[in-house]
């Protein structure tokens, strides 16, 4: 369990950075749309971003480093922008570098993205705001804020350093202005080294192998929270706890909660059974991924997502209406599991104060 210890000491070491005053975003960002990503293929070569030690000194490098620190210790924003006990890197693993764990380098090159549904273009900062609102059960930092610039700078640096190395482009990653950083890399006016431009077009760059959580096949039997409980006891409970609440030592979580008041809320992508199944199959149990069968991954995903969690922030008092409007997918919001209360009718608060 050395990784747990080091994760914990890293968290402790990072606590204590100061936080500026609260800015309230005017409206909720878009709902977390399901990514459409390709299934995994066997012979894939993934982008390999440069190591942290290669980040240059100076103001630009400082932004990149700040983004990294916010990403791995998002708890420094607890009570301000974060309303649960998670860190971004709990799901986007290896500090956002791990292929098939929705890596930041692939994400950066996929925005701005056009959304047909609301005829709106989502920038990279919009997408990050979505994860603050739902995955982090918080209140997203405002457009253009220091935090969103830093997280974008870190993502950009991972993507660009990986691309430069892949196509043998020497030198430092070119610096970008804050306004440019926030947009993302999928645009005609995004500066790319000639060797990268010659190798891949903008649509290929937006679909780098390893993006998102690759879809796994549907299970043979309809997924079942009951069978999932057995999978949970055998493969997850040792780390995530008897009741899914993870493990905190001296108030710092080294093992993240999977449901309940300190986990992601009912609007988060991870509450969809398919998204969680894809994540779990590829990335859990921690440290030895791809141990479960498809069926086990779907069943345990159903199990953890049949438990209550913080309310969907779009809730306006009517669970059924919200379920119809936003939950037309594989999830349990608005349903009663095994005769329990309708999920969503007694959910935990959104963006609560830390006790």
Q: Which residues in this chain contact ligand HEC in the complex, by CB under 6 A?
A: 32, 34-35, 74, 86, 88-93, 102, 106-107, 110, 127-128, 131-132, 135-136, 151, 211-213, 235-236, 238-240, 255-258, 263-264, 268-270, 275-276, 280, 284-287, 292, 300, 304
Comparison of 44 and 198: residue with beta carbon closer to ligand HEC: 44
Separation between Cα atoms, residue 272 and residue 35, nearest integer Å: 12
Comparison of 232 and 315: residue with beta carbon closer to ligand HEC: 232
Q: Which residues pair with 113 in a beta bridge?
A: 122
Task: Round the CA-based radius of gyration of the chain to a whole number and report it.
Answer: 20
- Beta carbons within 8 Å of 103's beta carbon, 6+ residues apart: 47, 92, 96, 97, 158, 210, 211
Within the chain, how many helices (H) and strands (E) appear?
14, 4
Q: Supply the minimum distance, in Å, between the C-beta of residue 170 and ligand HEC.
A: 28
Q: Supply the minimum distance, in Å, between the C-beta of residue 330 and ligand HEC.
A: 12
Comparison of 252 and 320: residue with beta carbon closer to ligand HEC: 252
Q: Supply the minimum distance, in Å, between the C-beta of residue 54 and ligand HEC.
A: 21
Q: Supply the minimum distance, in Å, between the C-beta of residue 338 and ligand HEC.
A: 19
Q: Supply the minimum distance, in Å, between the C-beta of residue 109 and ligand HEC.
A: 9
Q: For residues 240 and 85, is the Cβ–Cβ distance under 8 A?
A: no
Q: For residues 167 and 195, is the Cβ–Cβ distance under 8 A?
A: yes
CA separation, residue 218 to residues 143, 295, 329 (Å): 38, 8, 14
Comparison of 210 and 334: residue with beta carbon closer to ligand HEC: 210
Separation between Cα atoms, residue 99 and residue 118, nearest integer Å: 29
Comparison of 128 and 164: residue with beta carbon closer to ligand HEC: 128
Phi, then psi, of 253 in degrees rounded to 5: -80, 125
Q: Supply the minimum distance, in Å, between the C-beta of residue 171 and ligand HEC.
A: 26
Q: Supply the minimum distance, in Å, between the C-beta of residue 353 and ligand HEC.
A: 19
- 3-state helix vs strand vs coil in the chain, percent to 5: 40, 5, 55
Comparison of 169 and 241: residue with beta carbon closer to ligand HEC: 241
Comparison of 279 and 315: residue with beta carbon closer to ligand HEC: 279
Comparison of 131 and 173: residue with beta carbon closer to ligand HEC: 131
CA separation, residue 154 to residues 22, 190, 267, 294 (Å): 22, 16, 25, 33
Residue-wise DSSP of 42-111: TTPPPP-PPPGGGSPSSHHHHHHHHHHHHHH-GGGGBTTTB-SS--GGGTSHHHHT-TTS--HHHHHTT-
Instruction: Report residue 217 as tokens.
Output: 């096949």
Comparison of 63 and 240: residue with beta carbon closer to ligand HEC: 240
Separation between Cα atoms, residue 303 and residue 229, nearest integer Å: 6
Comparison of 256 and 310: residue with beta carbon closer to ligand HEC: 256
Q: Supply the minimum distance, in Å, between the C-beta of residue 127 and ligand HEC.
A: 5
Q: Supply the minimum distance, in Å, between the C-beta of residue 278 and ligand HEC.
A: 7
Q: Supply the minimum distance, in Å, between the C-beta of residue 282 and ligand HEC.
A: 11
Q: For residues 137 and 166, is the Cβ–Cβ distance under 8 A?
A: no
């Amino acid at each position: 369990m050395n990784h747990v210890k080091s994760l914990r000491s890293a968290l402790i070491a990072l606590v204590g950075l100061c936080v500026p005053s609260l800015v309230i975003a005017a409206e909720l960002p878009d709902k977390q749309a399901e990514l459409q990503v390709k299934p995994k293929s066997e012979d894939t070569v993934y982008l390999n971003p440069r190591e942290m030690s290669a980040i240059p000194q100076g103001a630009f490098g400082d932004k990149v480093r700040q983004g990294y620190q916010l990403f791995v210790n998002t708890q420094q924003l607890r009570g301000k922008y974060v309303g649960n006990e998670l860190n971004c890197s709990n799901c986007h693993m290896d500090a956002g570098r791990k292929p098939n764990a929705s890596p930041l380098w692939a994400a950066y090159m996929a925005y701005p993205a056009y959304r047909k549904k609301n005829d709106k273009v989502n920038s990279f900062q919009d997408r990050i705001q979505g994860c603050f609102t739902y995955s982090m059960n918080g209140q997203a930092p405002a457009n253009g804020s220091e935090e969103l610039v830093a997280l974008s700078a870190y993502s950009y640096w991972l993507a660009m350093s990986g691309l430069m190395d892949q196509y043998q482009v020497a030198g430092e990653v070119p610096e970008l202005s804050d306004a440019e950083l926030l947009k993302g890399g999928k645009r005609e006016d995004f500066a790319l080294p000639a060797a990268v431009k010659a190798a891949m077009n903008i649509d290929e760059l937006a679909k780098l192998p390893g993006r998102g959580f690759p879809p796994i096949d549907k299970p043979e039997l309809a997924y079942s929270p009951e069978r999932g409980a057995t999978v949970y006891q055998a493969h997850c409970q040792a780390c995530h706890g008897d009741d899914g609440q993870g493990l905190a030592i001296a108030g710092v979580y080294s093992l993240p909660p999977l449901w309940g008041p300190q986990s992601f809320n009912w609007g988060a992508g991870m509450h969809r059974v398919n998204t969680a199944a894809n994540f779990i199959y590829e990335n859990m149990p921690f440290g030895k991924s791809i141990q479960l069968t498809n069926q086990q991954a779907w069943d345990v995903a159903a199990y953890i997502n049949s438990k209550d969690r913080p309310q969907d922030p779009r809730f306006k008092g009517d669970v059924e209406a919200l379920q119809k409007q936003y939950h037309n997918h594989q999830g349990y919001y608005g349903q009663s599991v095994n005769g329990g209360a309708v999920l969503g009718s007694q959910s935990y608060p959104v963006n609560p104060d830390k006790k």
